[in-house]
Structure 1
Amino acid sequence: AQGEGANEFAWDKETYSRYEVERIMDIAMETARKRNKKVVSVDKANVLASSRLWRKIAQEKVAANPDIATDYFYVDNTAMQLVVNPAQFDVIVTTNLFGDILSDEGAVISGSIGLLPSASMGTGTALYEPIHGSAPDIMGQNLANPLGTILSAAMMCRHSLDLPQVADAIEKAVEQVLLDGYRTGDIYREGLKRVGTTEMAQAVIERL
């Protein structure tokens, strides 16, 4: 920030190079190829110059990957569509700022951040962890939802270890546990089976 009083001001500069956009677009296409072959590229090309470069490169990558169905959404519309119809999305690729906002919205839509796996993937080694991190505030109390961690292992099998059948088995086991009514406290509601971290993890293991 500069200036003082009524004349105090600040600004931010969003800069993306061609290499950076191409790299993340390639990762998005490859990720979609392992899923449902759908990508939504999110930008604000009607306002931001960096987004216009983003969309230009996205269109080039779409032409080079004809097997992937790709749409282009403005970020404000994406935020609305995530609430109205989240099932329409498979892979969303966007900038760091927009992704930071939309990923938190996605966490709310799922019902609990305890359910969400995540990965930081690039051209080097990938890092897999649940969205909630290590949850130090409830450490050792048998309260944490282990499903985000378990599903992160499934993501690792699918995207880094090339073991899609193992990933499918883990994800199906988690789905079956939820269908059977097991719930940790963050997703519990009356009439279901409330369990702790250890019991939930064991229930998944039994269904593998």
Structure 2
Amino acid sequence: GLFVNLRPAICYPELTAASSLKPELVSGLDLLLVRELTGDVYFGQPRGKRISPDGVFAGTEEGFDTMRYAVPEVERIAHVAFKAAMGRSKHLVSVDKANVLETSQVWRDTMIKVSKEYPEVTLEHMYVDNAAMQLVKAPKKIDVMVTGNLFGDILSDEAAMLTGSIGMLASAALNEKGQGLFEPSHGSAPDIAGQNIANPLAQILSAAMMLRYSLGMEEAAVRIENAVKKVLAQGYRTGDIRSEGCKLLSCSEMGDAVVAAL
């Protein structure tokens, strides 16, 4: 039931030098990507491997997946995105590939229909290839972005690099009741397991999202986020976001620094 994935991409002023883009492009970046999480080609049926029954390569082995989206499935993620936009700049970018995919045409038509319930929000449509380009060309022009599972998977990782490190990217996966799973957008990093060098800030910021979205504890969430901002302002860094003149901390030392700031 965790159909909505919220992925904020925030570039803190102290980390502009760690971003892969020029500081003037990412300084002040505060983008929210709303990704549909339980549909699309990842979960569509039928899927599998078979001997191709037709086409130019009939008789050879092929893999196949099915991209599907039902109107109610798009409607529920649309409402989440529009409500998020209402609380921010009232500008929503919906990403699809409606010039090629029937699934995306259903997505776009549904977004337009739901937009009538949110007249204060400006809805902009963007093809996914253009969206990928705009994220590295002018990311601050995008405030809230909503898209399907496949495109959201790719674009959210691209957005992560704007912040300086995927180790800074928190996320929330929510159901209709606001219950959720809160975790960093990155994986478990087995290549550095046990070395005490990972960046714990995405995990800590995920806890702040849990307080905000599932428990309704806005003040506590802001306290955690302010503590993270404070340690960055103090010049503390883990290896993935380190820059000249800053103090390198281990994973546990960074955690201790956030607790001290809190």
Corresponding letter in the other structure for 2:79 = D
TM-score between the two structures when normalised by the length of structure 2: 0.72
TM-score between the two structures when normalised by the length of structure 1: 0.89
Q: Is the 8 A contact 1:24 1:122 kept in 2?
A: no
The whole-number CA distance in structure 1 between the counterparts of 2:258 and 2:234 is: 11
The percentage of aligned residue pairs carrying the same residue is: 50
In structure 1, the partner of 2:9 is none
* Count of residue pairs brought into register by the alignment: 208
The answer to whether structure 1 residue 19 and structure 2 residue 72 are counterparts is yes
The answer to whether structure 1 residue 72 and structure 2 residue 125 are counterparts is yes
CA separation of 1:100 and 1:29: change in aligned 2, threshold 3 A: same
Residues 97-133 of structure 1: per-residue CA shift (max 9 Å, x gap): 1111111211222221111101112225210001123
Q: Report 1 or 2 for greater relative contact order, CA contacts < 8 Å, sequence distance ≥ 6.
A: 2
CA separation of 1:155 and 1:22: change in aligned 2, threshold 3 A: same
CA separation of 1:206 and 1:35: change in aligned 2, threshold 3 A: farther
Q: Is the 8 A contact 1:173 1:204 kept in 2?
A: yes
In structure 2, the partner of 1:139 is 193
1:177 CA drift (Å): 1.7
The whole-number CA distance in structure 1 between the counterparts of 2:83 and 2:111 is: 14
1:68 CA drift (Å): 2.9
Higher strand share: 2
CA separation of 1:36 and 1:153: change in aligned 2, threshold 3 A: farther
Root-mean-square deviation (Å): 2.1
1:94 CA drift (Å): 0.7
- Aligned residue for 2:113, secondary structure, equals helix
- Aligned residue for 1:128, secondary structure, equals strand
In structure 1, the partner of 2:52 is 3
Equivalent residue for 2:108, pick from 42, 46, 55? 55
Greater shift, 94-103 or 138-147, is seen at: 138-147
Corresponding letter in the other structure for 2:71 = R
Runs of 4+ in structure 1 off by over 6 angstroms are: none
The answer to whether structure 1 residue 149 and structure 2 residue 203 are counterparts is yes
Higher helix share: 1
Structure 2 unpaired stretches of 5+: 1-49
